Amino acid sequence: MCGIAGIFHLETPKPVDPARVDAMCDALVHRGPDGHGVWTAPGVGLGHRRLSIIDLAGSPQPMASLDGRAMLVFNGEIYNYRELRQELKEAGAHFRTDGDSEVILAAWQRWGPDCVSRLHGMFAFAIYDLDARTLFLARDRLGVKPLYLAPLSDGSLAFGSELKALLAHPLLRREIDPLAVEDYLAWGYVPDHRAILKGVTKLPAGRSLLLRNGAPMPRPSQWWDVSFEHRHKGKVADLEAELLHLMRQAVSSRMVADVPLGAFLSGGVDSSSVVALMAEASSNPVRTCSIGFDVAALDESAYATQVAQQYHTDHASRLVSPDDFEAIDALAGMFDEPFADASALPTWRVCQLARESVTVALSGDGADEALAGYRRHLFQYNEDRVRSLLPQGLRGPVFGTLGAIYPKADWAPRPLRAKTTLLSLAGDSAEGYARALAVTSPELREGLYTDAFRRLRGEYRAEQPLYDVMRSAPARSGLDRAQYADLKVWLPGDILTKVDRTSMAVSLESREPLLDHRLIEFAAGLPESMRVHGGQGKWLMKRTMRRFLPDDILYRPKQGFVTPIAQWFRGPLAQTARDIATSKALARTGWFDTRRLTSLVDAHLSGMSDNSRLLWQLLMLEKAFTGLGIG
């Protein structure tokens, strides 16, 4: 696990200053404290920061191919590198090292851009071919590892594992993209189709880019996708056995490391399943870690302890206070772009705990997206059944009118908070799912903006790219399309960004076995009844894991990491909430209606409504602007 950065001149091969690449890499030192290197040639510079995981002493980067004709910088892990290495040796390749980096180089020299389809793992890498004068950039299938890109005024393209690397380049333009602000306020993160700064982009998951000296910059090429169009046939027992085989394969392949390895253990279905399969595959006790909260309603540590005792793990647990708001500045600084998933705070804390004893930790991320584990998937499934019974011509006027007049009763019991459901049913499947995902509704955002911002935004709406993804998805049902959108938009933009930044901030490598692409492809072909069944999501996975885990782990309500931001903004952060309405950084943009902000703050402080997620979004936006030197 590492950090990479580089510069490539597309037209004239101008000299690249090694010190400039070195400065970009220095911004990523947290991603790779164990070593660094820079290589330059006419028109190109590559830099690397290393966190040593495999072949600790033998795979320094940038790495040259054996014949010196290609140069690599690589962030990630290739889990099938040993099998590929053997295949390549049989085809005549020779190796000097025992790691996966040199395998990527040999695969490139044998298969060219098609090499990515042979790689099983998480990765973002750059290969410069000295003979062809090309730069090849690639990102893994699901977007576990990030890669930012920015064309610069001198005709070069800068790239790096985080925006921090690009910010270290003096030619990077620091101008906020208002469309990214619209995206961020809708979702709570800036999706991969955009970045917070104009001109900066992200290489999308499952795509590659082949840059040629003297040629214009091409569009990224998609080299992997997942299809929900086909359904597996067979008995439940047979599909259960196949799922277990894929999960075992995914977990065992991610246990290869030359450094201490462990796992996050929350006590939920996913992390508990990973730990159970790790224990089955290991001859030594698995190292596990979890955090608990000193508020009983938020604390799941007893379930984590139960699983740890069942599998005799070497378990570490720490109780933390949910009143962890003093860490907000450090948290905001990890992401560069505004990021409002408040669960990033406890995720960072469990990463800190893990790093005290291990360098690699396996997580349970990915199962909810692949196997329909979120409550919103159940809602989507049920709402689509209603949509199928009533024509749009009836649903739109009836549910739309009811939703418009129904009060937003945050204070009421959940069954009485029907406004979102009514508005969801008024639209089609994509429109309904967008409302389920949104942190702020279109109506709420519209009330926040000034006329100046509306002019800048134009006709663009944050929901449109999600609609496009869902409506063009290789899928058969609304649930399929929702899960496809999760895998393509939500997962890389929110979940994987959160885990990558919080783990890399403490130089910890996180691996996600439940995002093995073979498991994802298999899950996409499951009949809906094996994903959502009897009011339960992840039905087949839970059934599969019954031999490993008790029912109170498998079937209790999903909780996840909870950060009590609503209470914070009515307590110790009440003044911070008031300050948001008069924030100089936000006011300087002229994009937000300060009177509207003030009324939302007052409504939250009085308890009349829960606006905590929006206040958190605005706080993180303000801190991102300040960190970027905008505020």
Going from the C-alpha of 145 to that of each of 204, 252, 607, 618, the distances in angstroms are 10, 20, 40, 27
Q: Give the catalytic positions in this structure.
A: 2
Of residues 10, 99, 92, the one with CA closest to residue 52: 99
Length of the chain, in residues:
631
Tokens 């409002």 belong to residue: 340
Residue 355 token pair: 């790093």
Residue 164 token pair: 């921090």
Going from the C-alpha of 302 to that of each of 218, 290, 293, 312, the distances in angstroms are 52, 10, 11, 15
The torsion region of residue 538 among left (phi > 0), alpha (psi -120 to 50) and beta comes to left
Radius of gyration of the chain (CA): 24
Beta strand 261-264 with 287-293 is: parallel
Q: Are 361 and 263 in contact (CB under 8 A)?
A: yes
Cα(174)–Cα(625) distance, integer angstroms = 10
Q: Are 483 and 524 in contact (CB under 8 A)?
A: yes
Please provide the DSSP assignment of 475-511 as one string.
-SSHHHHHHHHIIIIIIIIIIHHHHHHHHHTTT-EEE
Which DSSP state fits 533?
A: B
Residue 317 — φ and ψ, nearest 5°? -135, 145
Tokens 């009983």 belong to residue: 296
Instruction: Give the SS3 label for residue 539.
Output: helix
The angle, 0 to 180 degrees and rounded to 10, between the axes of the packed helices 612-627 and 178-187 is: 150
Of residues 517, 513, 519, the one with CA closest to residue 254: 513
Residue 98 token pair: 């025992």
Query: Quick check: bond before 62 cis, omega within 30?
Result: yes
Cα(186)–Cα(449) distance, integer angstroms = 13
Cα(419)–Cα(192) distance, integer angstroms = 29
Residue 414 token pair: 């959940």
Cα(337)–Cα(340) distance, integer angstroms = 10
Burial of 238 (0-12, 13-18, 19+ CB in 10 A): exposed
Cα(378)–Cα(372) distance, integer angstroms = 8
Beta strand 63-64 with 70-78 is: antiparallel
Cα(128)–Cα(344) distance, integer angstroms = 35
Tokens 């499934």 belong to residue: 381
Amino acid (1-letter code) at residue 36: H
Sheet holding 70-78, edge to edge: 63-64, 70-78, 121-129, 134-139, 207-212, 221-222
Question: Residues 504, 202, 156, 152: what is their CA dihedral angle, to the nearest 10 degrees?
Answer: -100
